[in-house]
Structure 1
Amino acid sequence: MQLYFGDLIPYADKLLLGLGVSIAVTAAAVVAGGLLGVLVYLGRASRFRPARLAASAYIEAIRNTPLLLQLYLVYFALPSLGVNLDPVSAGIIALSINHSAYVAEIYRAGFESLPRGIGEAAAALGLSARATFLHVRLVPAMRAVLPSLTNQVILLFLASSIASIVAVPELMHTMMGITTSTFRTIETFVVGGLLYFAVAFAIAAASRLIEHRTRWKVA
């Protein structure tokens, strides 16, 4: 079998457009899932037992079921409740829900990694509650979990390909359409794989740069 990538040249714009949709869907899910993850973490760390139990149940339910199942429930089950979503919205919601459970646990690990008594030490120095949270707890915790958050964002970006199942016009969906038209399956998947790799590599590189700069500022 002879590989020939020339047949894919006319589809370059479509591939880049599909990649753009993948990035946009991922970005939206990172923001929405990150905010939801904060709320879940606050519930998980709450002293109010019902909130703590509810947050823990949510995390376990999401982490122990497949993302594809969650996507199907959002896209196919919600219409039975009168909530009709287009494929892109359903994909973003499912990815956000999935992302939030993992992010909540990452936040928890970050805050629990801080030395005990750090809050008392900040209070002894006369720092306000707001300054203590932002500069003594939040910044060190986020710095500690930055690699884990980066890995989660990369995994989320790669998992966005699952949204092709419900016809979200992202990169994988575009690739499948091109293979149907050109019959260049291997060539299309190689090019698509390189595009996925390039974005994931860029995310990791940006994270390393941020980590390096924050360390330099601290030093």
Structure 2
Amino acid sequence: MSTNKTQHYQLNQWEAEDAVLRTEFNEDNQKIDGALSALSAGLEGAATVEQLTALSGALQSVQAANRLELLLDRTLTQNTEKVALDVSQLDMGSYLKLFLVVRAAVAATNGYSIWMRFNGISDKVYSSLNTVSSNTTRYAEYSLGISSGWTTRFLDLWESNGALCYGMEGLSISMDLYERSGGHCSALGLGQLKAINLYSSSTSSGPGSAIKSGSSFRLFGIK
């Protein structure tokens, strides 16, 4: 039997007069095997961290090259009269353009309208034109004009001369695009945008059908 033990792992140390037991050798071998196994696992973990760091750097490079970012993705789980797409945590001023894709859930024969405002502003600061030029006519909101045949709206948002401009195209069930329309909001610029508000009722025409469950809203930004 050994007289002494090592300091850290308590391995057996024999004096000249000690009897050497096989069980002591076996115990030492088990301790050494366990320590080497733990060391190997630690080295593998370190390699994994290095690999993850490298992958993260590669992903950031890809994201930097791909300037189009998905900023918001929301799908309604129930009918509602209004939807607020909150972008207050994003630096809107860092984007050249925003793209909003609205896919409205509609019945086969019954369409409805959706009206849009920015930051909840309901003053007459919105124009609605077949071009994106300025116009003296102002409205309290901008109509997206959802119907049973035209269920998807593509809007691009950008700033020009300090005003938040928007253009819109529609996609029908048969995948036909209709004429582009748009206008601008004279109350704020793109960098001041905090929320895109969508409503089922209009200040001019009153309450309408609710925005249906299953409708989706995806906002992209390009830098």
- TM category (shorter chain) comes to under 0.3
TM-score, length-normalised on structure 2?
Answer: 0.22
Of the two, which has the highest radius of gyration?
2
Task: Give the structure with the larger helix fraction.
Answer: 1
